[in-house]
Amino acid sequence: MCGIIGYIGPKVAYPILLTGLKRMEYRGYDSAGISTISIEDNQRAVNIVKKQGKVSNLENKQTELQGNLGLAHTRWATHGQPSELNSHPHFNDDKSLMLVHNGIIENYLTIKRNLEQRGYVFHTQTDTEVLTKLIDYYHKKCKQKLSTTLQNYEQKKDPLELALRAALHDVVGAYGIVLFHKDTNKLYAAKHGSPLVIGIGKNEHFVASDPAAFLDHTRRVLYLEDEDIAIIKENSYELKSLCSHNGECIKRKEDLVDWDITAVEKNGYEHFMLKEIMEQPQTLANCLAGRLDPQLNDIKFTLKLTLNFIKNIKRISIIACGTSSYAAMAGKFLIEKYLRIPTEVEVASEWRYKNPIISKDDLVIVISQSGETADTLAALKLAKQFGAKTFGIINVVGSTMSREVDSGIYIHAGPEICVASTKAFTAQVLCLNFLLIKLGKIRGDLTETQIQRMISNLLNTPELVKQSLNNIEQIKAAANLIKDKQSIFYLGRGINFATAKEGAIKIKEISYIHAEDFASGEMKHGPIALLEKGFPVVTFVNKNDPLYEKNLSSIQEAKARGAYIIVVADHIDSTLQSYADTILQVPKVPDYLQPLINTIPLQLLAYYTAKLRGCEIDQPKNLAKSVTVE
């Protein structure tokens, strides 16, 4: 949610900031702004342009935004409606202090009332303006104090750093902030619960909420951790802790981003969503690379959990949000079926507030594309407080969640730009299979023959997905038939109930058609009342499914009431043809791969339906990619 980029160096900041905002448009936003410092006749001036709507509204502002230092932001409204006034950067009364902010300041109303009593006037409904003026209040106070003291050590202190520290000790909530003051040639950044990363170039530095914003300039990065404060200059940076009172610098290892800028470009595709769907054979191959060992009949990744703990796991909790929670549902089915470990799946926003029952014999698995999802991250921290062991299935290397878990695995899906997740979901399901086999081997729940067969099937996954992408024309035809419908049902049994949920959310997210998902057997307990002639129903039929006959019965019930039946099936025969109006054929695979394979035609169905309806596919309304607020 929201995008931040700051720059300081020898180059003109505006085009760098503008390009950086465009690289982060996938995160979802409703307004954008840029501010820079320019110097003319030895006078420093702050320039600012803010616009509601697209980043493109900021183009051709070069003459207004001179200077070699600046910051920029795309806003996704939390406090106050989308508007130019509420957009970032926010500033103090004389516009000498500029600040951009991701996150939510929960106690902003209390702070606002205190500042109003001190004479501050507010012009927006945002918590960010409150934070800006709180820092301004402390800055004025610190400058006054430092100007009256004669001690040398006091004179060397930075009043804006002191003000930032004081203000952040007052606030409650989540923040990733970047600010500057016109009288200092520095950028200041701070993080708590909302991602920030420093880009380290040659005689220039960047700070952003996503390294994609500056990746065409440098791949050398430093990920900020909670309670970090960074003071960033043209040729250097200092990292300090908000918790430290003596202001000592922190030394931390830098990283190299292992993907290049082509990963966040469309490469000839009309939309990022279509690109990301079509590149799944490759992303899954990347996920598989070096991890399967047919010779040793094992999965090669380090499970940093003791042998005794693994053999005595009493329960597994899988915590996630949105699409990741549907991958989690598939994982629950597999773990309980093959390992016989009681497993629960909870959406993070509910689990953390229900006073969960957690023991030291529990394994808590968190799943997140970004590794920064606020609710999931809070749930992870809660699990650790209770002493549970934690495991992460995460895409973004260096993310907060990846550093917090006891053990984990990266899905290596690469940057996912479209707000609607596609390749991350399939890679998450694949990694859940890795964990299943690893645990099953250590615990003895899977035989060597089972493991051998599973590894063989997993190795074929990229080719199987490629085959699933071959029904484009048939999927386009189905999309044309449902594009004007008001509602769609997605029905699934067993592990494909998770697939039904994933299919339903995709059509909702990008085509704005109302969609409901049900366990197939539940349709007759209420939802069937809504069926009428032409009502679309999407479901799954796998030939070797033990519930094959029951699946056909569910289709018959819907068909008898005039529903238009779309079936994702691993075979076509006369029986199925007599029941279904459209059959989207996929390769035949065992149950542990069905969510991965069966979701491919549903991704394409959602894409082509949205395209026919003229929807904005990569950036659907009201949604954001990385949800870093509750």
Domain edges within the chain: 3-263, 266-469, 470-618
pLDDT tens digit sequence for 377-424: 989 999 999 999 999 999 988 788 988 999 999 999 988 888 899 999
- Phi/psi for 104 (5° steps) reads -135, 130
Cα–Cα distance, 200 to 253 (Å, whole number): 12
Tell me, what amino acid is at 490? Answer: Y
Q: pTM of the prediction?
A: 0.77
Asked whether the predicted pLDDT for residue 625 surpasses 70, the reply is: no
Q: Residue 152 — pLDDT band, cuts 50, 70, 90?
A: very low
Asked whether the predicted pLDDT for residue 586 surpasses 60, the reply is: yes
Beta strands in 338-437 (DSSP E): 343-347, 362-368, 389-394, 407-410
Instruction: Please say if 2 is a catalytic residue.
Output: yes
Per-residue burial over 396-406, b = 16 or more CB atoms within 10 Å of its CB, e = otherwise: bbbbbbbebbb
Cα–Cα distance, 516 to 525 (Å, whole number): 14
Q: What is the pLDDT of residue 147?
A: 61
Is there a contact between 173 and 105 (Cβ–Cβ < 8 Å)?
Answer: yes
Is there a contact between 148 and 68 (Cβ–Cβ < 8 Å)?
Answer: no
Q: Which fold has domain 470-618?
A: Rossmann fold (3.40.50)
Asked whether the predicted pLDDT for residue 523 surpasses 50, the reply is: yes
Q: Are strands 564-569 and 343-347 parallel, antiparallel or unpaired?
A: unpaired
- Token pair, residue 203, equals 């005689």
Q: What is the pLDDT of residue 606?
A: 97
Cα–Cα distance, 283 to 395 (Å, whole number): 11
Helical (H) or strand (E) element with 8: strand 3-8
Q: What is the pLDDT of residue 626?
A: 54
Which candidate, 468, 450, 449, 415, places its Cα nearest to that of 595? 468
| Same topology between domain 266-469 and domain 470-618 | yes
State the number of CA atoms in the 13 A half-sphere of 207 facing the CB: 31
Q: What is the pLDDT of residue 151?
A: 45
Is there a contact between 234 and 241 (Cβ–Cβ < 8 Å)?
Answer: no
Asked whether the predicted pLDDT for residue 153 surpasses 60, the reply is: no
- Token pair, residue 459, equals 């190795």
The mean pLDDT value of the chain amounts to: 89
Instruction: Please say if 321 is a catalytic residue.
Output: no
Beta strands in 85-166 (DSSP E): 90-91, 97-105
Averaged pLDDT, 11-28: 86
Beta strands in 95-194 (DSSP E): 97-105, 173-181, 187-192
Q: What is the pLDDT of residue 179?
A: 96
Percent of the chain with pLDDT over 90: 60
Cα–Cα distance, 600 to 622 (Å, whole number): 25
Cα–Cα distance, 297 to 622 (Å, whole number): 46
Q: What is the pLDDT of residue 630?
A: 52
Which residues share a beta bridge with 8? 69, 205
Per-residue burial over 81-119, b = 16 or more CB atoms within 10 Å of its CB, e = otherwise: eebeebbbbbbbeeebbbbbbbbbbeebeebbeebeeee
Tell me, what amino acid is at 264? Answer: V
Helical (H) or strand (E) element with 113: helix 108-117
Asked whether the predicted pLDDT for residue 157 surpasses 90, the reply is: no
Which candidate, 104, 126, 120, places its Cα nearest to that of 171? 104
Architecture of domain 3-263: 4-Layer Sandwich (3.60)
Residue count (the chain): 630
Q: What is the DSSP letter of 431?
A: H
Q: Which of 55-69, 485-499, 584-598 has the lowest mean pLDDT?
A: 55-69
Q: What is the pLDDT of residue 94?
A: 93
Is there a contact between 515 and 488 (Cβ–Cβ < 8 Å)?
Answer: yes
Cα–Cα distance, 612 to 121 (Å, whole number): 48
Averaged pLDDT, 309-333: 95
Q: Using alpha carbons only, what angle is made at residue 250 by residues 244 and 255, rounded to the nearest 5 degrees?
A: 140
Q: Which of 326-340, 366-380, 419-433 has the lowest mean pLDDT?
A: 366-380
Averaged pLDDT, 454-460: 95
Catalytic residue among 240, 423, 508, 625: 625
**Greater model confidence, 66 or 621:** 66
Q: What is the pLDDT of residue 154?
A: 44
Asked whether the predicted pLDDT for residue 110 surpasses 90, the reply is: yes
409 Rama sector, left if φ>0, alpha if ψ -120 to 50, beta otherwise: beta
pLDDT tens digit sequence for 36-59: 999 887 888 999 998 888 888 888
Architecture of domain 266-469: 3-Layer(aba) Sandwich (3.40)
Q: Any idea which residue has 């320019």 for tokens?
A: 38
Q: Any idea which residue has 């500033």 for tokens?
A: 91
Q: What is the pLDDT of residue 624?
A: 61
Is there a contact between 46 and 96 (Cβ–Cβ < 8 Å)?
Answer: yes
Q: Tell me if residue 500 falls in helix, strand or coil.
A: helix
